[in-house]
Amino acid sequence: MLHLVDEAIGSHLRADVPLDPSIDVDFSLPDKEWSSGLTRPTVNVYLWDVQREAKGNKGGLEEVQREGQIVRRLPLPRVRLGYFVSVWAGEESDEHLLLGRVMRSALRSKAVANDLIPAGLVEPGTGLELSLGSQDRRLALDFWRNIDGRFRPGLELEVRFALDLGLETPAGPPVESVALSVEDTERPTRRSLRSRAFVEELRRGDG
């Protein structure tokens, strides 16, 4: 599933920055071994963080349609992916130019276009939300310190989406009647039990 998110992010960057065909998009760990093999300008987009997104999660049950059948499920959990984006072009001026264009795209675009999302990654009505993060200034320093110790400018691209876990059950038939029973609790020996059934007929077109 994560490889499909990578594919969507790569397609988005190419279309929205936009990126020339001579510029590569790579999702590998940007360590010294990787960078020594580069032969073309490259935008590295490395997935470094996966978290459950608390904001936007809902409780209860919801009903959705699956292949003509109504099913019940818990609301889909939302996840947040953190990508660290860096640019490799040989000359610092070229790197800063390209990184600035990527930054503008991250600030401008709120989501990946639906036609760039691989089939089956998200369900209709949802998508891949984008934002520029994080406010933690230590992120870049910690990132490069844990890779090869050599600092390099970059930015964090956050991707949020709802994940379908396939946990759903068929919904039962619609309720057509409700039974109400009332018992006299003041005179228990009297077993006065009243029952009344309320039956509501479904009428097409009723408001």
Backbone angles phi, psi at 61, to 5 degrees: -120, 155
The per-residue pLDDT for range 58-93, each reduced to its tens digit, is: 655 555 555 566 666 567 778 899 999 999 998 999
Q: What is the pTM of this model?
A: 0.72
Burial of 45 (0-12, 13-18, 19+ CB in 10 A): buried
Can you list the domains of the chain with their CATH numbers?
A: 2-170 (3.30.2000.30)
The per-residue pLDDT for range 99-144, each reduced to its tens digit, is: 999 999 999 999 999 999 998 888 767 899 999 986 666 777 788 8
The string of DSSP codes covering 23-53 is SEEE-S---HHHHHT--S-EEEEEEEEEEE-
The per-residue pLDDT for range 165-189, each reduced to its tens digit, is: 655 555 556 666 777 666 656 655 5
